[in-house]
Every structure is written in C-alpha cells, then in structure tokens.
Chain A
Amino acid sequence: MTTTPAAVAATVLRPPRHRVERRAIAWWTTRTLLVAVPAAAAPAAAAAVVPEFAQPPATLVTALWLAAAALSTAGLAVAGAMPLWRFRVHRWEVTDTAVYTAAGWLWQEWRVAPMSRIQTVDTHRGPLQRVFGLADVTVTTASAAGPITVEGLDSGQAEQVAAELTEATERTEGDAT
C-alpha cells in the first residue's frame, strides 16, 4: 500500500441507490409504539390499581410510577427519533453483479453479496407490514453469518425485485459456496 493516510481516510462507501418505501416510517413507528405503550402502561396500571386493593409500601408505588415515566419517555424518544433516522439510513441497490444494502440507525451495517453466490431469495410480509402494504426481501448466501434483508419495500415492488433476483441467480452455476 503506497497510498497516503489522507487518501485512505477519504475512501467511503457511497449509500445504495434506492431508499425504502416512505410508508416504512409509519410502520416502524407503529411497531415501536406497539411495544413501548404496553411496556409503559403496565407499571402505570399497577401503580394505579394496586393501592385500591392493598396497602403496598409507598416506595413501591413511587418506583412503579417512576418506571412508567422512564419507560414512556424512552419509548416516545425512540418512536420519535428512530423511524426517521432509520429511513435516512436504510437503502438498497441491485447491480449486475451484487446486492448492496445499508441498514440500522445507531448501529449501522452495510452488506454486500455477489450475485453469483446468492442461494435463495424470499419475500416476507408480516401482519403489521400488510397493513402498510410493505414487504421484506431476504437474500441468503451459503454463509452462516446471516442473510441480507431489505426491509420495508412496497409489496408489489418486493415481488418484482425477488423475481428479478431469482432469475439473475439462476443464470449462475455451481453451489454458490
């Protein structure tokens, strides 16, 4: 390597070309709230209901209210920040030779798999995703280190991408290991 440190530092991954569906923001928000609201409501409900039937120590009730406050604050913060942030990061691209995705928000990950090593292409639509008309496309290789997933595509578009990927993969030979 004869490159100068400055030149090395300048090399970056450019983001993949396509963003995911904008509806994914609503999907991620809903998904977060579906977890956060019950998590915060449970201690709050306990703190409100238990003194009606028993005499718990005052510290316990205070602790429950504090827990409810902390959980709802954290849940709201995540629900407010995460979906937009995630939407800015999540992107995907398929070239003639490779599949390339970016995902995550605080912890971010870029994955690349060569077209010739793709083994299976699946689409997946959970119940919540169906509400928003979204789907995931999952591309697996022979590696045990996990597949490449594009979350939050339009379901029609996902089918199309999966079909095109499958066709492209079938053109390559070998057992892709």
Chain B
Amino acid sequence: MNPQATASGGAGWQHLNPLTAWALPLLLTVILVPSAVVAAVAAGAHGDFWPWGVLMLAGAPLLAGAAALAEYVRWRRTRYRATGERMETRSGVLVAEHRSVPRDRIRSVDVSVEIWLRPLGLCKVTVGTGQSTGSGSDELVLAYVTRTEGERLRRELLLRGSQVAAADGAPATAEAGRAHAGTAGAARELARLRPVWFGFAPVSAATPLLGAAAVGAVYNVISWFGQERANDAAAAVSERLAALPLLAVPATAAVLLTGAVAATAVQVETWWGYRLEREPDGTLRLRRGLITNTALSLEERRLRGVELREPLLLRWARGARVRAVATGLGSEAGKGGAVPRSALSPDMPRARALRLSAAVAGEAEPPVAVPLRAHPRAALRRRVTRALAAAGAVAALAAGLAAAPAALPQAQRLPWAPEQVWPAAGTAAAVAGVAAAALLLLPWAVAAYRGLGHALAPGYLVMRKGAFSRSTVALRRDGIIGWRISRSPFQRRAGLATVAATTAAGRGRYSADDVELGAGLRLADEAVADLLGQFLAAPGAQRPTGAEAADSPGTAEGGEGADRGDRKGSRGDPAVSAGGPAGG
C-alpha cells in the first residue's frame, strides 16, 4: 500500500496511492450501473429496449472505463515529495506543472475523507500555504493517499521543531512565551461537540433559504411530469392563498420547518464528531464531519487572533461561533464547503464560545470580551442618513415608476390600466417606501451603530462591527503589519476616519469604522509601538520627528487639520530634489 519512491529527477518522489485510479471509476460504477439498469428496464417496459436500453447499459461501463483511464494517467503523472526544506508536487497531463513550497511557508494541513473514499482507506490532503505557488492557488492538493500516509504527512509537514520557530521573527517569539508548556506529551482538548448545540441550527440564515429551496425543488419535481401540471399546481396554491389569506401562516410555518430540518441536517453533517485539540507540537487540530470526515491541523504560530461571529438570529438566541484569524487558511469564503476553513466551532452558547476563544488564543480571559468603546454619535448620524437616503431613493423610484405612464402620450398608454390608478399607486408606493424605511432601515442603522466598537486589550486590538452579522475580531498586535487610514469627504466633514490594521491573516484587513480621527490614530499608535507615532502630530506639542512646518493647523478640529497641514507644507518643499528616502 505505501507508495514507493520512484526515480524521476531526484530522490524521494512518491506516487499517489495506486488505488487513486480506482476511486472515481468505482464511485461512477456504483452510481451509474444501477441507474442504467433501472433505466434500461424502464425502457424495455416501454418497448424501446433497442436501441435506448442497450445504449444505457453499454454507456455506464464505458463512462467508468474512460474515468479509470483518465485517473490512471493522472496517477502516473502526479508525484510529490517532502524534503527537509520543501514540499513539491509534479502533475499535469498536457502541461507539466511543478509546484514547490518552502516548508516554513506551510500553514495548515487538511486531511479529509469523503464517504466514498472510506472503504478504500484513502484520504485527500490539502496543504495550505501563505503564498501563491505559481498557478494562483495557495494550496497543494494530494488526491489521494492512504490514511496512514495522510496522517504521516500531517504530522511531518507541521512538525518542524523549534529551530524554524526561532528564526521566524516577532510572532514566533511571542508564541514561545505562550502557555502550552504544561501540555507536553498529550493533546489537550479545547472543545468537544455537545449535540444540544444543534438546537442553534434552525436560527441560522440558512433556514429560510433552504425552505425556499425546498419549495423550488417540489415545483421542479412536479414539472418533470409536465410544465402545465406544475403551473396549474402553482396557480391552485396561489388561488387558495388568495381566497384564504390566513392559510399563509401555516404554509409559511411549514416552509420554515422544512428549512429548519434541512439546516439542522447540514449542521449535523458538518459538525458531527467535532473536537478541537491543542497538540503538544504546537498545532490546533480540528476534527469534524459525519459523511466527509475532515481533520484540519493549524500551526498555532500562524494564528494572528480570534474572531467571534454572531449573526442576528443566533445573537438573539444567545449563540455565537468562533473563527480563527490565521495565515494560510484561505480568505473569508470557504471553498465549496458548508463552512469556511477558518471555522473553529459550530454554533454554540455565547459563553462557551467566549471560553473557547480564550483557550484558542492561549489567554486566561477572552480578548473578544473586553469592554469596547463606542464610536462617536456622528457614526450613528452617518448610518441614519444612509438609511434615509436609501428609503428616499426607493420611494422616489416607486413613485416615478407609478407616475411615468401618466406622462406618456395618450396613444402609448397601456390599454388595461385605468388612468386614475397611477397617482394613487404612486402615493401608495412612496408611503410604503417610507414605512419600509421606518421598519427596516432605521433599526438597521441603529443596530449597525451599536455594533461598532473598539478597544485595546493586553496584546490584542479588538474591533467589532456589523448589524446583521456581527463580528468581533481580536487581532494580535504583533500580527499587525501596517495601517490604512481612509477618509471619505463625508467622514472628513464629520471628523471621522476608518482605521484599518492590515495583517497577513484572514481577510487581510480589519478595520474600526468611523472612529473619531484623533482617537483612531491614538488607538493605532498605542496598538503597535514605533510605527504610526512618528507620523503623528499634535498642535502645540510637536514631536521631534515632525516634518518641516507641515503640522501646524492651529485648530482643534482634527478633520481639517490633516488637509490644512497638507496644503501648507506643499509650498516650497525641498524634498522633491532630495532624490531618495529621508532618514528618520
């Protein structure tokens, strides 16, 4: 079973497991042959066995055979090796591809076992890296190797001892002082699934979506038996609803119930057997999955923080979920899966999620739970203005659409629409728009404002935002690799700014939106020592590093200060001819 080394340009190259060539054809056979037989029998009963039934019976093995051939060629052409310094893969049938990643850039190793691979003892290994490796993707995928080989790769690729960690700069040195010294030898469990947590599944945003999808599916199934019939059924249902509007209540309830059941099923499939452990070699190991078993290993020194996610409905149910802010886990969106790869927990009670976030971060107190400072009232005004503008636009659009036909020449008017209806409809639409604003947009504005917050915790910068999906990020300060401060014209008028910390992990940028300019700059200055401070200026208390005359806006209004100083300093600037970077 264990792949043997082959001689192809250097030592240590290994093939994928030979069974790889059989996995996909086997799956196709299992699916196709029975359905082909059923179809052939049905065709025979219909009197069409020749040629349709024969075609189907012959086609299934042909397809499986073609897949087997393609997979065999792929298996022949794919090799990988893990040397002391690099992880390399060679692949490609028509275009030879060679990808090579330095071992110290490997961030995560993901071992997943799909259900149809289980009888073959195979698994898929996905190696996450922090850099693009040529063809755009930032991961290497080995499909498929044996379970034991997958486990060996998982251990070996992440276990590199302390010499690499020592050479890795600031985050690693901070890591060295972290408190998992007492765990030497055995893995320490941070969290384990409690089935009651599946009770949170129905309050996810997926419930109405899945419910609607179920209705669509029913319609589709009916339309297999004729489009007419499906349309008739839809018409009958809507007629019944129109005649008895109260029926909408049980109907909606039924749809939502279906959606809730489906959402729960998805949660169970995704998170069954959930366990999060801290292994003695400094990795976090996440295992989950009912049908597809997934085991994700994440190096802790790649962790730059934790994120607490509280979508609206989950928040009302006092639940939350935990995500990792780590390099090499891909960006925000998960690739095809139900959850992103940065997800560290299913929906769980908020208090439990807080404890888990603290454990993941290696802190005694959860950094995401520190008291946050609210943003200025001007941030609320901006959101209310936005809500009112949106409502006004909706109302104006509705009124315009309603009024437009009346403005058309008599000849072009629609014959079926009595003229008196239009002004009434326009008024109604405008009123509806305003009502929608009051009922939806204004609460949204207030919730968005109340979601805003920021604070400095020991070692962390904590930022929160979001009305519908509230997210609290605790970003490790030594993981911040830059700042972006941006101001729109409106923000400048209101004295606000968006202060964003850039990082190599997660979304790449986490921001405190609409903070008061001075407070935001001081926050950034205090969060990371010796970075932004040299560019800050306070009137009356100039820093020695300040530039020539650039910073004397004699006003306390921070919003104007930057601009005015800019204009002032622009005259007679000697630096243009300086030709190079100025020393500090």
A residues within 8 Å of B by Cβ? 1, 3, 6-19, 21-22, 88-89, 91, 93-98, 100, 102, 104, 106-114, 116-117, 141-146, 148, 157, 160-161, 164-165, 173-177
Given A18-B578, A142-B504, 18 other A-B residues pairs in contact with their CB atoms under 8 A: A9-B516, A9-B556, A10-B558, A12-B565, A14-B565, A19-B576, A96-B584, A97-B534, A107-B489, A111-B483, A113-B502, A116-B169, A141-B504, A145-B509, A160-B580, A164-B580, A165-B581, A175-B130
Contact with A144, one of B331, B550, B575, B578 (Cβ below 8 angstroms): B331
Q: With A and B bound together, what is the CA distance between A21 and B569 in angstroms?
A: 15
Asked whether A95 lies within 8 Å of B582 as measured between CB atoms, the reply is yes
Asked whether B517 lies within 8 Å of A88 as measured between CB atoms, the reply is no
B485 close to chain A: CB less than 8 A = yes
User: Given known contacts A95-B584, A112-B482, is B575 in contact with A143 (CB within 8 Å)?
Assistant: no
B239 close to chain A: CB less than 8 A = no
Q: With A and B bound together, what is the CA distance between A146 and B28 in angstroms?
A: 44
Asked whether B487 lies within 8 Å of A17 as measured between CB atoms, the reply is no
Q: With A and B bound together, what is the CA distance between A174 and B508 in angstroms?
A: 19
B104 close to chain A: CB less than 8 A = yes
Contact with A12, one of B170, B534, B553 (Cβ below 8 angstroms): B553
Asked whether A143 lies within 8 Å of B508 as measured between CB atoms, the reply is yes
Min Cβ gap B128→A in Å is 13
Residues of B within 8 A of A98 (CB): 531, 534-535
Mask: chain B, 347-384; 1 = CB below 8 Å from A; 0 = not: 00000000000000000000000000000000000000
Which A residue's beta carbon lies closest to that of B532? A112
| A-B contacts, CB under 8 A, total | 214
Mask: chain B, 369-408; 1 = CB below 8 Å from A; 0 = not: 0000000000000000000000000000000000000000
Residues of B within 8 A of A175 (CB): 104-105, 130, 168-169
Q: With A and B bound together, what is the CA distance between A143 and B131 in angstroms?
A: 11
Min Cβ gap B396→A in Å is 20
User: Given known contacts A17-B550, A143-B508, is B488 in contact with A107 (CB within 8 Å)?
Assistant: yes
User: Given known contacts A9-B517, A114-B481, is B582 in contact with A93 (CB within 8 Å)?
Assistant: yes
B201 close to chain A: CB less than 8 A = no
Mask: chain B, 550-580; 1 = CB below 8 Å from A; 0 = not: 1101001110011001110110010110111
Asked whether B481 lies within 8 Å of A176 as measured between CB atoms, the reply is yes
Which A residue's beta carbon lies closest to that of B552? A14
Which B residue's beta carbon lies closest to that of A18? B575
Q: With A and B bound together, what is the CA distance between A165 and B550 in angstroms?
A: 24
B536 close to chain A: CB less than 8 A = yes
Asked whether B522 lies within 8 Å of A8 as measured between CB atoms, the reply is yes
B583 close to chain A: CB less than 8 A = yes
Q: How large is the interface on B (under 10, 10 to 19, 20 to 34, 35 or more residues)?
A: 35 or more
Asked whether B500 lies within 8 Å of A145 as measured between CB atoms, the reply is yes
Asked whether A110 lies within 8 Å of B484 as measured between CB atoms, the reply is yes
Residues of B within 8 A of A97 (CB): 530-531, 534, 584
**Closest 5 pairs (CB-CB, A-B):** A144-B508, A174-B169, A94-B581, A145-B509, A142-B504
Mask: chain B, 505-538; 1 = CB below 8 Å from A; 0 = not: 1011100000011110110000010111011111
Min Cβ gap A97→B in Å is 6
Which A residue's beta carbon lies closest to that of B373? A1
Asked whether A173 lies within 8 Å of B508 as measured between CB atoms, the reply is no
Asked whether A8 lies within 8 Å of B482 as measured between CB atoms, the reply is no
Min Cβ gap A25→B in Å is 12
Chain A CB within 10 Å — which of B167, B521, B535 has the most? Answer: B535
Asked whether A15 lies within 8 Å of B581 as measured between CB atoms, the reply is no
B residues within 8 Å of A by Cβ? 104-105, 130, 167-171, 327, 331, 479, 481-489, 492, 495, 500, 502-505, 507-509, 516-519, 521-522, 528, 530-532, 534-540, 545-548, 550-551, 553, 556-558, 561-562, 565-567, 569-570, 573, 575-576, 578-584
Asked whether A142 lies within 8 Å of B130 as measured between CB atoms, the reply is yes
Which A residue's beta carbon lies closest to that of B537? A14
Asked whether A174 lies within 8 Å of B566 as measured between CB atoms, the reply is no
Asked whether B576 lies within 8 Å of A21 as measured between CB atoms, the reply is yes
Q: With A and B bound together, what is the CA distance between A114 and B534 in angstroms?
A: 12
Contact with A114, one of B130, B482, B517 (Cβ below 8 angstroms): B482
Q: With A and B bound together, what is the CA distance between A93 and B576 in angstroms?
A: 11
Asked whether A141 lies within 8 Å of B482 as measured between CB atoms, the reply is yes
Contact with A8, one of B519, B545, B562, B573 (Cβ below 8 angstroms): B519
Chain B CB within 10 Å — which of A91, A164, A176 has the most? Answer: A91
Q: With A and B bound together, what is the CA distance between A89 and B562 in angstroms?
A: 10
Asked whether B482 lies within 8 Å of A106 as measured between CB atoms, the reply is no
19 contacts between A and B (CB under 8 A): A11-B521, A12-B553, A12-B562, A13-B485, A13-B521, A13-B535, A15-B551, A17-B547, A93-B581, A95-B534, A106-B488, A108-B486, A110-B486, A110-B535, A113-B482, A164-B581, A173-B169, A175-B104, A176-B504
Residues of A within 8 A of B532 (CB): 13, 112
Q: With A and B bound together, what is the CA distance between A17 and B583 in angstroms?
A: 11
Min Cβ gap A104→B in Å is 8
Residues of A within 8 A of B517 (CB): 9, 11-12
Asked whether A14 lies within 8 Å of B580 as measured between CB atoms, the reply is no
Residues of B within 8 A of A141 (CB): 481-482, 502, 504
Contact with B538, one of A12, A107, A108, A177 (Cβ below 8 angstroms): A12
Asked whether B531 lies within 8 Å of A114 as measured between CB atoms, the reply is yes
Which A residue's beta carbon lies closest to that of B576? A19
User: Given known contacts A17-B575, A95-B534, A109-B485, is B167 in contact with A12 (CB within 8 Å)?
Assistant: no
Q: With A and B bound together, what is the CA distance between A144 and B537 in angstroms?
A: 29
Asked whether B508 lies within 8 Å of A145 as measured between CB atoms, the reply is yes
Residues of A within 8 A of B504 (CB): 141-144, 176-177
Contact with B502, one of A19, A95, A143 (Cβ below 8 angstroms): A143
Which A residue's beta carbon lies closest to that of B528? A114
User: Given known contacts A14-B546, A97-B530, is B538 in contact with A110 (CB within 8 Å)?
Assistant: no
Asked whether B534 lies within 8 Å of A177 as measured between CB atoms, the reply is no
Asked whether A9 lies within 8 Å of B558 as measured between CB atoms, the reply is yes
Contact with B486, one of A7, A17, A107, A165 (Cβ below 8 angstroms): A107
Chain B CB within 10 Å — which of A6, A18, A113, A174 has the most? Answer: A18
Min Cβ gap A46→B in Å is 24
Residues of A within 8 A of B486 (CB): 104, 107-110
Q: With A and B bound together, what is the CA distance between A13 and B536 in angstroms?
A: 5
Which A residue's beta carbon lies closest to that of B545? A95
Asked whether A15 lies within 8 Å of B556 as measured between CB atoms, the reply is no
Asked whether A144 lies within 8 Å of B581 as measured between CB atoms, the reply is no
Contact with A161, one of B503, B539, B569, B581 (Cβ below 8 angstroms): B581
Which B residue's beta carbon lies closest to that of A110? B485
Chain A CB within 10 Å — which of B482, B486, B539, B584 has the most? Answer: B482
Q: With A and B bound together, what is the CA distance between A6 and B579 in angstroms?
A: 38
Q: With A and B bound together, what is the CA distance between A19 and B502 in angstroms?
A: 25
Asked whether B167 lies within 8 Å of A173 as measured between CB atoms, the reply is yes
Q: With A and B bound together, what is the CA distance between A11 and B481 in angstroms?
A: 22
Residues of B within 8 A of A14 (CB): 535-537, 546-547, 550-551, 562, 565, 569
